[in-house]
Amino acid sequence: MTANLLEFDQQGLADFCEGLGEKRFRATQLFRWIHQRGARDFDQMSDLARSLREKLKTSARIEGLSILSQHESTDGTIKWLFDVGKGDAVEAVFIPEDDRGTLCVSSQAGCAVGCRFCSTGHQGFSRNLTTGEIVAQLWFAEHFLRCHLQRDDRVISNVVMMGMGEPLQNYSALVPALRVMLSDHGYGLSRRRVTVSTSGVVPMMDRLGQDCPVALAVSLHAPNDQLRDSLVPLNRKYPLAELLDACQRYLAYAPRDFITFEYCMLDGVNDQPEHARQLIELVRQHGGTGVSCKFNLIPFNPFPQSGLTRSPHKEVLAFAKILSDAGIVTTVRKTRGDDIDAACGQLAGDVRDRTRVGERMARQRVVKITQVPVGASAGSKEN
Ligand code: SF4
Model pLDDT for residues 275-298, shown as the tens digit of each residue: 999 999 999 998 889 999 999 999
Residue 241 has pLDDT above 80, yes or no: yes
Q: Residue 250's pLDDT is what?
A: 98
pLDDT, mean of residues 184-210: 98
Q: Are the C-beta atoms of residues 4 and 132 closer than 8 Å to each other?
A: yes
91 is catalytic: yes
Q: Residue 336's pLDDT is what?
A: 72
Q: Residue 305's pLDDT is what?
A: 85
Residue 274 has pLDDT above 60, yes or no: yes
Q: Are the C-beta atoms of residues 369 and 381 closer than 8 Å to each other?
A: no
Amino acid letter for position 157: S
CATH 3.20.20.70 boundaries in the chain: 66-359
Looking at domain 66-359, its CATH superfamily turns out to be Aldolase class I (3.20.20.70)
Residue 304 has pLDDT above 80, yes or no: yes
Mark out the alpha helices in the chain (DSSP H runs): 10-19, 26-31, 50-59, 119-123, 131-148, 171-182, 202-211, 225-231, 240-251, 273-285, 313-325, 354-364
Residue with the smallest CA separation from ligand 1 atom 3 is 166
CATH 1.10.150.530 boundaries in the chain: 3-63
Ligand 1: residue of 93, 111, 162 to mutate (most ligand atoms within 8 A of CB) is: 111
pLDDT, mean of residues 12-16: 98
Residue 374 has pLDDT above 70, yes or no: no
Residue 48 has pLDDT above 80, yes or no: yes
142 is catalytic: no
Q: Residue 341's pLDDT is what?
A: 64
Q: Residue 365's pLDDT is what?
A: 35
Residue 369 has pLDDT above 50, yes or no: no
- For residue 198, the CA-to-ligand 1 centroid distance in Å is 8
222 phi, psi to nearest 5 deg: -160, 150
Beta pairing class for 158-161 and 100-104: parallel
Position in ligand 1 atom list of the atom nearest CA 199: 3
Nearest to 36 by CA among 124, 142, 130, 107: 142
Q: Lowest mean pLDDT: which of 178-182, 199-203, 363-367?
A: 363-367
Rounded to whole angstroms, the Cα distance separating 339 from 75 reads 9
> Cβ contacts of residue 12 below 8 Å, gap of 6+?
176
Q: Are the C-beta atoms of residues 144 and 371 closer than 8 Å to each other?
A: yes
Q: Residue 67's pLDDT is what?
A: 97
> Cβ contacts of residue 90 below 8 Å, gap of 6+?
81, 82, 84, 106, 108, 109, 129, 133, 137, 163, 164, 165, 351
CATH 1.10.150.530 fits 3-63, yes or no: yes
Residue with the bigger pLDDT between 376 and 187: it is 187
Position in ligand 1 atom list of the atom nearest CA 119: 6
Beta pairing class for 215-219 and 158-161: unpaired
pLDDT, mean of residues 34-58: 96
C-alpha to C-alpha distances, 226 to 203, 285, 309, 367, nearest whole angstrom? 22, 19, 20, 47
Which of 22, 91, 133, 382 is the catalytic position?
91
pLDDT, mean of residues 296-316: 93
Q: Convert the pLDDT of each residue in 326-367 to its tens digit.
A: 999 999 988 776 666 655 544 554 444 443 443 443 344 333
pLDDT, mean of residues 41-65: 96
SS3 of 292, please? Answer: coil
353 phi, psi to nearest 5 deg: -105, 105
SS3 of 136, please? Answer: helix
Position in ligand 1 atom list of the atom nearest CA 122: 5
Q: Residue 352's pLDDT is what?
A: 41
Residue 272 burial by Cβ neighbours in a 10 Å radius (0-12, 13-18, 19+): middle
Q: Residue 356's pLDDT is what?
A: 43
